[in-house]
Amino acid sequence: MRWTTALFASVAVVAPVQASAASDYAVLGPRFAAGKAGSDVGRAIIARAHAALTRPPGAIPRLHTEGTLPGKGIREISLVAKRDQPIVLDLAMAWRLTGDRAFLAQAGRYLDAWASIYEVSLNPIDETGFDTLMMAYDLSRADLPADQRARIDAFWRRMATGYLEAMDSPALGHANTNWQSHRVKLATMAAFETGDRALIDRARAAYRNQIAANLRADGSTFDFEERDALHYVTYDLEPLMMAALAANAHGEDWYSWAAPSGASLPKSLDWLAQFANGTRTHIEFANSKVQFDRDRAAAGQDEYAPHPWKPEAALDTFWTARLLDRRFAPLANTLAANAKRLPAAWLTLY
């Protein structure tokens, strides 16, 4: 599929879902995956969920991988615990696809374990994967027992208020980096999960502040200036798109908003698309200003050593973008064809 300069034409924004009030879900509404149980992706989800029906949850009180090198104890423990994240989403999607209450019960068991055991740390890099748990809750909340719902609802409220309060603090670190993009994602999705309009309004303001602080008028990002890596551009844009997608699911168009500087999410996606479609190339981390990138490369994490960026690394980025802006559908399909794989299952079913 040929990708042309039509990309830079006027934005073809996907119309927000009509919603009269904030519903109690983050992103995946009541029509998600309808009629798709027989698709290849649907069957694969159901098979994975079947395999997880007897697997116990691995919830722990704290996750910590940010800033750690391979072999560190807490890192390895956390990576094992994080295996729960795609599993609980598979279970919840299988419930939505089949109506089999065994999947619902196991999804509820996982969600309740994390809500009861985990202590929100407000480290957005460690906790960014909780978006999968929120989407799992989107698909299961209405049918879970009331006591489970109460515990899980309280957990999302703690997450929403915690991140919003953290972003209001003048002492906040990483206030204009990819960290803040992940804070915005978690706060926004959790706010919509609660349905609390005051929290949603605060999340919208935080989103706009990050667009203005992190994205540049030419489409590049602050993190690209610091890290010299398109990896960190995708790590900026993906969480911001998740926040915009949550808003879109509730009838609000955050995606099109532009800062006074002219920076906007569509403009930054256009900038990244030049690399994803092969018009431009880039050597990752060649001139990073961050010592930790060199430390990770020295510790054997080759993805942080200088190397040519591969467009397929933006597969999930542009499959998310296509849900907000139809212009990116051809590029998303081309990346999937070149990578010979599909993106995350929920993106395929959306």
Classify each residue of 45-62 as buried b or exposed e, where b means 16 or more C-beta atoms within 10 Å of its C-beta.
bbebbbebeeeebbbbeb
| Whole-number percent of the chain with pLDDT over 70 | 94
How many helices (H) and strands (E) would you count in the chain? 16, 2
Predicted local confidence at residue 217, as pLDDT: 98
Q: Could you read off the pLDDT of 321-332 as tens digits, one per residue?
A: 999 999 999 999
- Whether the Cβ atoms of residue 39 and residue 97 lie closer than 8 Å to each other: no
Q: Could you read off the pLDDT of 200-252 as tens digits, one per residue?
A: 999 999 999 999 999 999 999 999 999 999 999 999 999 999 999 999 999 99
14 pLDDT band, cuts 50/70/90, is: confident
Predicted local confidence at residue 67, as pLDDT: 87
Give the residues across from 308 on adjacent strands.
Answer: 283
Predicted local confidence at residue 1, as pLDDT: 32
Residue 136's closest CA among 27, 54, 242, 61? 27
> How does DSSP assign 234-296, residue by residue?
HHHHHHHHHHHHHHHHTT---TT-B-TTS-BHHHHHHHHHHHHTTSS--EETTT---HHHHHH
pLDDT exceeds cutoff 80 at 2: no
Report the DSSP pairing between strands 283-284 and 307-308: antiparallel
Which residue carries 């694969």 as its tokens?
44
Q: Regarding predicted confidence, which is higher, 233 or 13?
A: 233
Predicted local confidence at residue 48, as pLDDT: 99
Q: Which of the residue ranges 10-14, 87-91, 117-121, 125-129 would you say has the lowest mean pLDDT? A: 10-14
pLDDT exceeds cutoff 90 at 310: yes
Predicted local confidence at residue 69, as pLDDT: 86
Q: What is the mean pLDDT of residues 65-86?
A: 92
Residue 188's closest CA among 22, 1, 2? 22
pTM of the model: 0.93
Predicted local confidence at residue 77, as pLDDT: 96
Q: How many residues does the chain have?
A: 350
Q: Regarding predicted confidence, which is higher, 194 or 17?
A: 194
Residue 96's closest CA among 88, 61, 51, 343? 88
21 pLDDT band, cuts 50/70/90, is: very low
Cα–Cα distance measured from residue 197 to residue 273, given in angstroms and rounded to the nearest whole number: 34
> How does DSSP assign 1-27, residue by residue?
----GGGGSS--BPPPPP-SS--S-SS
Classify each residue of 223-234 as buried b or exposed e, where b means 16 or more C-beta atoms within 10 Å of its C-beta.
bbebbbbbbbbb
Predicted local confidence at residue 207, as pLDDT: 98
Predicted local confidence at residue 17, as pLDDT: 58
Cα–Cα distance measured from residue 349 to residue 117, given in angstroms and rounded to the nearest whole number: 31
Predicted local confidence at residue 292, as pLDDT: 92
Predicted local confidence at residue 173, as pLDDT: 82
Q: What are phi and psi of 264, to 5 degrees?
A: -160, 160
Predicted local confidence at residue 73, as pLDDT: 85
10 pLDDT band, cuts 50/70/90, is: low
Predicted local confidence at residue 13, as pLDDT: 73
- Whether the Cβ atoms of residue 122 and residue 179 lie closer than 8 Å to each other: no
Distance of CA 207 to the CA centre of its chain: 14
Q: What is the mean pLDDT of residues 60-78?
A: 91
Q: Could you read off the pLDDT of 112-170 as tens digits, one per residue?
A: 999 999 999 999 999 999 999 999 999 999 999 999 999 999 999 999 999 999 999 88
pLDDT exceeds cutoff 50 at 4: no
* Burial zone of 97 (CB within 10 Å; 0-12 exposed, 13-18 middle, 19+ buried): buried
Predicted local confidence at residue 5, as pLDDT: 31
| Whole-number percent of the chain with pLDDT over 90 | 89
pLDDT exceeds cutoff 90 at 253: yes
DSSP-based three-state secondary structure for 152? helix
Q: What is the mean pLDDT of residues 254-258?
A: 98
- Whether the Cβ atoms of residue 97 and residue 37 lie closer than 8 Å to each other: yes
Domains observed in the chain: 32-144 (no CATH), 176-350 (1.50.10.100)
